[in-house]
Amino acid sequence: MARTIAVSNQKGGVGKTTTVANLGAALSEMGQRVLVVGLDSRGDLGVHFGVSGAEVDATVYEGMFAEEVGFEEVIIHIEEARVDLAPATRELAGAELILGDMAVVERREVVAEALAPVQDRYDFIILDTAPGLHLLLVAALAAAREVIIPQQASYLALHGLREITESIQQLRRMGPRLSICGILLTMQDRRTVHHRQVIHMVREGFGELVFNTVVPATIRFQEAPANGQPITQYAPNSEAAQVYRQIAREVMERAPQT
């Protein structure tokens, strides 16, 4: 059965989608069977693989809420990156209205039930979640057994880290065995003392939960999706690509634990 990992932080702009796409591609290079799932109505995950919403027949929205569409029908194989993609579009914004009309237990299981038929096909299922605290995020965290928290190396971004850890604690009280795979420090500018101080603060506060690898700030991470490719394809020999390969190795080494 797949290791299902949600990549989440209630603050936007910290590198969630970048991490899902590039970690997924790096894991596939290591021979892992990977499915990346868009749970953000912006649909940016598809852009990282050159897939636009106009090109797809069915999306995650139909896979979760349309009885006549099985989740396996939503999945697109990205040949070059050797990754499977379940894309989202703006239509997914309507999920909150549907979930709001469901019973609490039922709506928490929506993502888990959608993924159940494909769990055994993959080694990793990685969920790209939207910022903010909303019902679909709760369902995503309930479906996952691990969460990776991208954390921008800035003081203000620490608020998002606090909020997501509080959400995980609340979910644990409701039952799911959700653990933190790791806190991933992103967008580091090595030239600034401030970034180094924030990284030191996070490491002091969370210890071994923090990934050893830090993601640097580089224009490469903007260029790659503009070309419809993960960083391991767009610039395979770059520092940015090597960083995500190292993160993939760390994820492989981190066994799920509560």
Tens digit of pLDDT for each residue in 120-153?
A: 999 999 999 998 778 999 899 899 999 998 988 7
State the pLDDT at residue 152: 82
Model confidence pTM above 0.85: yes
- Specify the CATH architecture of the domain 3-253: 3-Layer(aba) Sandwich (3.40)
All structural domains of the chain with their residue ranges: 3-253
State the pLDDT at residue 258: 42
Whole-angstrom Cα Rg for the chain: 17
Tens digit of pLDDT for each residue in 10-25?
A: 778 889 999 999 999 9
pLDDT > 90 in the chain, percent? 62
Tens digit of pLDDT for each residue in 194-229?
A: 778 888 888 888 889 899 999 998 999 999 999 999
State the pLDDT at residue 164: 67
Buried (b) or exposed (e) across 207-226, using 16+ Cβ within 10 A?
eebbbebbbbbbebbeebbe
Tens digit of pLDDT for each residue in 39-86?
A: 999 989 999 999 987 778 889 999 999 989 999 999 999 999 999 999
Beta-carbon count within 10 A of 181 CB = 24
C-alpha–C-alpha distance, residues 218 and 34, integer Å: 25
DSSP state of 256: -
The torsion angles phi and psi of 91, rounded to 5 degrees, stand at -55, -30
State the pLDDT at residue 179: 85
pLDDT > 70 in the chain, percent? 92
Tens digit of pLDDT for each residue in 166-186?
A: 767 766 665 567 888 999 999
C-alpha–C-alpha distance, residues 58 and 181, integer Å: 31
